[in-house]
Structure 1
């Protein structure tokens, strides 16, 4: 019997609900650029202070994921989701009603915690339910993080111009309802099915026997391995998973984790630089305003498209091979964009920054799957949440460090350096192999 047969809905329904929740919390990150100026005008706040609000959000969003993942892996997704739901509403409502900057810091920090909690639950739901088509399923969820905001931003921009408070309150209610729906619908397979191959198999394939996972004898390394005959033949995307479950203390003792962590910093750093500065770069190159706007829109759309399309490709070509090649291509595209921009080739510039975003983003669908395959499904939430903290350092690079590079070296040189670093990260990823 397949564990998914006990579900009142299909596994893809879980993916859809997780994607809805993921997209809802993604608005905190992606609509901020539309909210910040009207909010700053109301509070009489300068650029630096508004930038700090976003930094506070990123720190709390990234930092909250490990404790949320730890709880989810042990007690299921409902507890963290019920904690995150009111925080999401409070974050937007508090920002809407704030009359001072410290109040905005506190409100957006609480929203960041709620966003991080829902993010880690949503992104790891496909990891726990799928072995086949795991890259595609994870890609669908991760794509929604920016994809929903791409659709919402035009509405938010119109709303904040005339009714900032009301728009933010409506956002808070909508985001909280999406998280609450996830708390009702999303669930995990039985512990006995995880890391034994039973959760994500196609109908008719064998599942583990009825004994609980905690009854499986530990191997010599302290990890709980699968029983003979319980593990089905993996698809081409599975990178020879490790013998059993790694808890986070064991995960951080592997070199594979730290290589992934370094790549995560680079991917986030260059990505946030691209998202946050592509319009300013186009202006510095004196490209037409329409090209600058198109560049920003293309980056957002390509970011979402790359996550799901290339994530799905990883199911066939393999996780490591796919993400390594995509990051190299991203770096090459970014360097090529600087060449096009320097030559005043406006529309090739926009197309190439879109290509850079398209090939950078698949890491966010491949890495959760890779963590589950390397370190086990049972603790996938806490292990990926630990990896995701690399976003904190990436945000420092994408913001402060990138600005210092631009001031010191100029726009084109700074973007070329970022492209080279991204390509090197892709080559380094090719060195990965499962922990022994």
Structure 2
């Protein structure tokens, strides 16, 4: 199979990754309502996302570079899914923080893998390849936000996103791989 599949995998991963960040403004009022928490308490979760997502990009990148993206990608896709699934069932802001942080770890690692699929497979056209993968980051929220804004509850949104993510991303990450080092 052609290396083009890695661009498609990266793009789809980014579609889901964007929901943690670019859908936050659509999700936040629903989260406030379901958890009966004020904006300050809910916004702490976004700070946790920023911290865990960026920190674990480093950890995940090191693991993916040394052992390949498949196993760490599988684990990360499950963590990202659990972030939405667990958050949708959270009964307190503390449980929400916990699950959102778990998901943020997965999202951060997946972000690095998706970007590196483009960078490592397309050394002669890295800008184009990473641009296509990065398109998913904006496109995911563009597709999801109108649907999120029509939703009645964060519980149904989180459950739906988590289940779809769990059905799709582990399969795609199982198919992912980096080329041999002489290619990049």
TM-score, reference length from structure 2: 0.94
- Deviating beyond 4 angstroms after TM superposition, the runs of 4 or more aligned structure 1 residues are none
| 1:47 aligns to 2:39 (yes or no) | yes
Higher relative contact order (CA 8 A, sep 6+): 2
- Structure 2 stretches of 5 or more lacking a match? none
CA distance in 1: counterparts of 2:97 and 2:153, whole angstroms: 21
For residue 362 of structure 1, what is the aligned residue in structure 2? Answer: none
For residue 81 of structure 1, what is the aligned residue in structure 2? Answer: 73
CA distance in 1: counterparts of 2:140 and 2:146, whole angstroms: 11
Distance apart, 1:178 and its partner CA? 3.3
CA distance in 1: counterparts of 2:27 and 2:118, whole angstroms: 32
Contact 2:17 2:111 in 1 (8 A): yes
Q: Can you list the C-alpha shifts for 1:371-390, whole angstroms capped at 9, x where unaligned?
A: xxxxxx5xxxxxxxxxxxxx
CA distance in 2: counterparts of 1:36 and 1:65, whole angstroms: 24
- Structure 1 stretches of 5 or more lacking a match? 1-8, 194-198, 200-376, 378-436
* 1:150 aligned residue (120, 128, 142): 142
Q: Can you list the C-alpha shifts for 1:86-107, whole angstroms capped at 9, x where unaligned?
A: 2112111111111111111111
CA distance in 2: counterparts of 1:133 and 1:127, whole angstroms: 8
CA distance in 1: counterparts of 2:122 and 2:103, whole angstroms: 30
Aligned partner of residue 188 in structure 1, secondary structure: coil
For residue 22 of structure 1, what is the aligned residue in structure 2? Answer: 14
* 1:31 aligned residue (9, 18, 23): 23
For these two proteins, the number of residue pairs brought into alignment is: 184
Alignment of 1:306-385 (within 5 A): 377=184
CA distance in 2: counterparts of 1:126 and 1:41, whole angstroms: 39
Q: Can you list the C-alpha shifts for 1:233-262, whole angstroms capped at 9, x where unaligned?
A: xxxxxxxxxxxxxxxxxxxxxxxxxxxxxx
For residue 305 of structure 1, what is the aligned residue in structure 2? Answer: none
For residue 91 of structure 2, what is the aligned residue in structure 1? Answer: 99
Taking only aligned residues, the RMSD between alpha carbons, in angstroms, comes to 1.3
TM-score, reference length from structure 1: 0.41
For residue 167 of structure 2, what is the aligned residue in structure 1? Answer: 177
Contact 1:84 1:179 in 2 (8 A): no
Aligned partner of residue 111 in structure 2, secondary structure: helix
Aligned partner of residue 108 in structure 2, secondary structure: helix
For residue 332 of structure 1, what is the aligned residue in structure 2? Answer: none
- Rg (Cα) greater in structure: 1
Higher helix share: 2
